[in-house]
Every structure is written in structure tokens, then in C-alpha cells.
Amino acid sequence: MNKQRIGIVGIGKISGIYLDNLTGMFSKRVTLISVTDVIAERAEKAAVDYHVRHIKTPEDLINDPEVDIILNITQPQNHHAVAMAAVKAGKHVYNEKPLCVTREEAAELLKAAAEKKVRVGGAPDTFLGAGIQTCRKLIDDGWIGRPVAASAFMMNHGHEHWHPDPAFYYKTGGGPMFDMGPYYLTALVNLLGPITRVSGSAKQGFTRRTITSEPLNGTVIDVDVPTHIAGVLDFAGGAVGTIITSFDVWASSMPFIEIYGSEGTLQVPDPNTFGGPVRVRRFREEAWSEIPLLKNFPDNSRGFGITDMAEAIVESRPHRASGELAYHVLDVMHGIHDASASGAYYQVKSTCARPEPLG
Ligand SMILES: NC(=O)c1ccc[n+]([C@@H]2O[C@H](COP(=O)([O-])OP(=O)(O)OC[C@H]3O[C@@H](n4cnc5c(N)ncnc54)[C@H](O)[C@@H]3O)[C@@H](O)[C@H]2O)c1
């Protein structure tokens, strides 16, 4: 098969797992050829460690005729500019989440890509892992009957205790919904289909946060975004969902995601992982049953989404972690914030198909 060649823009905290997997578990399916970062020494080191080329500027990497797909793992605030440059250069692009900061940026990106006939993909790709693919099969095979409702909880106290440079999580484009909501909403859309209407309330629990990780320990971040967001989701298929994403909670024992069906309940594993456990409890059963996972990709398989996109390009089929899916999720996340600001429901304008299950 004609393997697509990938160049990475942005060699920060998350890049390690992409570098490992694109040169490891996915190396028979794609070829990583080059890396770049505005902080040159980061890309220089990755180039040495992974035996790929260090390209000095993002512009040169993006315009390199040998690169087919740009993997854009810069901070959210840079997603649009880097992705637009890629599309203008005639390259396919796969962005880390969220797709862009605003709907307008994301819509412009998808329009430009359609005009240039190149693909846009977007993280997360965790829904392609064994855990959520097993859940998808259970729902599609009717194990819990007709989905009636869902709940999702992502609650912690933010990233300033571990991330080396966490300020972006508290600036426009950050916050718990835009940072972690993509995992939960992408999983829900994969399991239940698109969302048509949302409402919600968004609050800011703390106006300033102090970094306790190195090397910026003691630095204070001014918080510009809401950090506790509660949303209600109406799915086109008829189910009603609730979601809470928060960076204001010290401890919680709520589940990650549960789907409530007419004949039972499905417990979905952490959608920020590729594995399990997956549990089901059907009506009249007195205990949960742990369901064996489908064999595919239970371990940290970041890079699966861009690999699927690379193969889809060669095979002329739709890719699963698509720009349309990432745009729909972005639209829903903004809709919850908009509903909080306006006091009215937001009718979701975008939609998308459920990605094909992996089989
Ligand atoms: N850190 C995580 O655990 C994690 C997990 C999943 C997804 N993500 C997502 O991955 C993305 C990156 O997060 P991170 O934590 O690695 O951030 P980071 O700040 O550690 O790294 C981002 C890197 O991009 C570089 N960069 C920014 N603009 C650039 C440009 N125009 N050209 C070249 N390089 C540029 C920066 O210099 C930096 O090295 C974000 O979208 C985030 O939401 C992060």
C-alpha cells in the first residue's frame, strides 16, 4: 500500500506518544518523516531520538513536497493558523483537540479543505480503542435495548499540578469543556449519534490558579474561561444526556459515562483511554457483568485516528476521526457555553454521521 508521509508541527508534552506510536505500532501503516517546533531544541531532540528529519521552520515543513499529512499538535490557540497553512499548501491535516478555538475558524478550515480537496481530521481517537468500540458493538447489537439517556462526568482540579506549561488550559480555547469535553462528546456521538439541542450553565470556580509543577512552580495564572460546566444534550436519536466537565472539583466518585437503555445500563470506560473496563447490567440482573473487550487496540494508541485517515485517503473511503465529527463536537461545546450566557437552549446547527465501527 502507498503509505502516507506525516510531518509533525508542535513537539510538546503530548508529542511523545505520537512519536512512539507513529514510529512503532503504526509504522507499517504510515511513515513519520519530519518534525518541527518554534522551540527548535524540542524538535531537534525528537529528530535525533526517533530518526526523523528536523525541519527548522513550520513553513518549510508544511511546504515540503515529501509530506502528505500535517499532524498539528500545537496548543489549541494555534490549531487554526497551522491547519490553514497546511490546507493552503495542499496538505491533509489532522489537529489535536479541540479542532479550533471558534466555530468560525473551524468552518473556514473545513471549507478551505473541501475547496482544496484535502482531508481534515481531528482528535480524539480514543473512541477507536477496544473499550469504546466494545461499547459501540453492545449498543448496536441491542444489549441494553433502546438508548434512553446518558450521563458523563469529567471532574478534577485542573492540570497545573503536572503540565509543564499549563496556562493555555485557562485561556480562550481551554477550560474543562474544550479540553476534556471532546473525549466525552466524541464517545457519546459515536455511541448515540449526533446532538440536536443543548442547554447548560457555566461558572468559574477560581479566578486565579497557582502552578505547582516544574519548571513554573509558583507562577499564578489568571483564569479567563469558565471552569465548571454542566450541560444537557438532546440526541437526534431521542436520548437525553447530561454532562459535567470541571476543573473545580477536588474529588468525585461519579462514573465516566453511563448509557441507560430500555433493557439495561452500560458503563463506558474512561474515554481518555483506549481500554476498558466495560460493564453491563441488564434488567432483573443483580450485579454488573464485565464484558470482554474486542481485541483491537486496548493500549494507548494515540495516532490511530491519523493512521485511519492516512489509509482512508489511499482507499478513498471516509475516515473516522473526521473534521465533521470534530466540528460537531466543537459546535456542541460552544452551544453549552452559549446557552449558559443567553439563558436559552442552543439548537445545534451542525451534524455528522456516526463513524463506521471498526468491526
Ligand atoms: N498534554 C496532554 O496530555 C494532552 C493530551 C491530549 C491532547 N492534548 C492536546 O495536544 C495539543 C498540545 O498539547 P501539549 O500539552 O503537548 O502542549 P505543549 O504546550 O506542551 O506543546 C505544544 C507545542 O507546540 C509548539 N508550537 C506552538 N505553535 C507552533 C507553531 N506555530 N509552529 C510550531 N510549533 C508550535 C510549542 O512550542 C510547543 O512545543 C493541545 O491541543 C492539547 O489539547 C494534550
d(CA 132, CA 189): 11
- Helices and strands: H and E segment counts in the chain: 9, 17
- Beta carbons within 8 Å of 111's beta carbon, 6+ residues apart: none
208-210 and 278-282 beta bridge pairing = unpaired
Task: Judge if the beta carbon of residue 97 lies within 6 A of ligand 1.
Answer: yes
Task: Judge if the beta carbon of residue 78 lies within 6 A of ligand 1.
Answer: yes
Which whole number is the average pLDDT over 64-88? 97
pLDDT of residue 296: 78
Which whole number is the average pLDDT over 240-261? 98
Task: Judge if the beta carbon of residue 171 lies within 6 A of ligand 1.
Answer: no
Task: Judge if the beta carbon of residue 14 lies within 6 A of ligand 1.
Answer: yes
- The model carries a pTM of 0.97
Over 90: is that where the pLDDT of 165 sits? yes
Which three cell numbers mark 45? 531532540
53-54 and 30-36 beta bridge pairing = parallel
Q: Atom 13 in ligand 1: which residue has the minimum CA distance?
A: 75
Phi, psi angles (nearest 5°) of residue 59: -60, -45
Over 70: is that where the pLDDT of 278 sits? yes
pLDDT of residue 1: 60
Task: Judge if the beta carbon of residue 74 lies within 6 A of ligand 1.
Answer: yes
pLDDT band at 10 (very low <50, low <70, confident <90, very high): very high
Gap from CA of 19 to ligand 1 centroid (Å): 13
Gap from CA of 45 to ligand 1 centroid (Å): 16
pLDDT of residue 37: 98
Q: In terms of Cα–Cα distance, which of 9, 273, 288, 258 is closest to 149? A: 258
Candidate from 74, 77, 213 with most ligand 1 atoms within 8 A of CB, to mutate: 74
Task: Judge if the beta carbon of residue 11 lies within 6 A of ligand 1.
Answer: yes
Phi, psi angles (nearest 5°) of residue 300: -60, 100
Cell 482531508 locates to 119
pLDDT of residue 11: 98
Residue 279: enclosing H or E segment and its boundaries? strand 278-282
Candidate from 37, 186, 329 with most ligand 1 atoms within 8 A of CB, to mutate: 37
Q: Atom 27 in ligand 1: which residue has the minimum CA distance?
A: 74
170 Cα distance to chain centroid: 18
**Dihedral through CA 232, CA 298, CA 119, CA 186, nearest 10?**
0
Q: How many CB atoms lie within 10 A of CB 330?
A: 26
Q: Backbone dihedral region of 3: left (phi > 0), alpha (psi from -120 to 50 degrees) or beta?
A: beta
Atom of ligand 1 nearest to the CA of 96: 41
Q: How many CB atoms lie within 10 A of CB 184?
A: 26
- In one-letter notation, the amino acid at residue 123 is A
Atom of ligand 1 nearest to the CA of 76: 41
Cell 506510536 locates to 21
pLDDT in tens, 90-140: 999 999 999 999 999 999 999 999 999 999 999 999 999 999 999 999 999
Burial of 282 (C-beta count, 10 Å sphere; 0-12/13-18/19+): middle
Task: Judge if the beta carbon of residue 12 lies within 6 A of ligand 1.
Answer: yes
Over 80: is that where the pLDDT of 359 sits? no
Cell 437552549 locates to 345
For 196, what's the count of Cα atoms within 13 Å in the CB-facing half-sphere? 8
pLDDT in tens, 190-227: 999 999 999 999 999 999 999 999 999 999 999 999 99
d(CA 235, CA 165): 36
pLDDT of residue 341: 97
Helices (H), the chain: 15-23, 40-50, 58-62, 76-88, 103-116, 130-140, 175-192, 304-315, 323-342
d(CA 107, CA 221): 30
CA angle 168, 173, 179 (to 5 degrees): 80
Q: Do the Cβ atoms of 52 and 26 come closer than 8 Å?
A: no
Q: How many CB atoms lie within 10 A of CB 212?
A: 13
How many residues appear in the chain?
Answer: 359
Task: Judge if the beta carbon of residue 17 lies within 6 A of ligand 1.
Answer: no
d(CA 219, CA 216): 6
The per-residue pLDDT of the chain, averaged, comes to 97
d(CA 120, CA 102): 16
Q: Atom 38 in ligand 1: which residue has the minimum CA distance?
A: 12
